[in-house]
Amino acid sequence: MVGGAAAVLSRRRALALVASGALLLVYAWVAERLWELPTRWDVAFVGLVAFPASTATIWLALPLSRRERRHPIALPALAGGLALALGLLGLDAPFNLAKLACFALTGFALLWAFRELWWVTLVAALVAWVDIWSVAAGPTRHVIEERPGLIERVAVGSAVPGEGSVVYLGPPDVIFFALFLAAAARFGLRVAATWITMTAFLSLTLAAVVLGDVSGLPALPAVCAGFLLPNADLLVRDARAAWRRRGDG
């Protein structure tokens, strides 16, 4: 299984992925001991450096989304088991990286449930509203207010340098980020623009959480908009073609 995954990645890409993961581990270990800067500069560093470094690992692992369908949950299960073990051992930095891997690989695996591009488009148009409701008045709000410790255990964090604070992305945010990026690659959309836009919008959302001093904001609208906007013309063209095929059938 591991050998099969390695074969999907080119040597250069695999080395870059390992290096990216190593840098994330080093940053997580030293972040609290780094310089203390005004909040706006901390936000700029997290939004322009630390957080894009996390999403870059998803970009580098993207060829894994093209694995065969026969065992789509094998890699997510492996990463999930590793994350559980690291969490039980109290190894926070590797635990955080393993969670990122588990959620990203889950997003890749879910791609096989979408046989048509317009299915992905429909999900992207709807799931953002579900997330807005969940954060405003649904289960996410309940968890944030009543069980904040659960967020720290299941979410993926980006540490703020020089402080003990961490900005978190929930599992659905990472899963849909990976799903949409993989869909862009599979269906011939603008992969680079999709990654850049989703990452930029998420960075702006994280900045709003810190600068606005709020407990949490929905992040899926940023992910969905980051997928829909740079591919809007291609998605509309595909939806129209699907509608015509339905009419002809």
Task: List pLDDT tens digits, range 42-63.
Answer: 888 888 888 899 999 999 999 9
Global pTM? Answer: 0.90
pLDDT higher than 80, residue 140: no
> Positive or negative CA dihedral for 172, 174, 177, 179?
negative
- pLDDT, averaged across the chain: 86
Task: Give the three-class secondary structure for 219.
Answer: coil
Tens digits of per-residue pLDDT, 90-127?
999 999 999 999 999 999 999 988 989 999 999 999 99
CB atoms within 10 A of CB 53: 16
What does the alpha-carbon distance between residue 156 and residue 2 come to, in Å, rounded to a whole number? 23
Residue 103's nearest CA partner among 50, 55, 70, 147 is: 55
CB 210 within 8 A of CB 43: yes
- 191 versus 41: the higher-pLDDT residue is 191
Q: Look up the domain containing 196 and give its range.
A: 2-248
pLDDT tens for residues 181-238? Answer: 999 999 999 999 999 999 999 988 888 877 776 666 788 999 999 999 999 999 999 9
pLDDT of 2 strictly over 60: no
Percent of the chain with pLDDT over 70: 90
Q: How many domains does the chain have?
A: 1
Left (φ > 0), alpha (ψ -120 to 50) or beta: where does 90 sit?
Answer: left
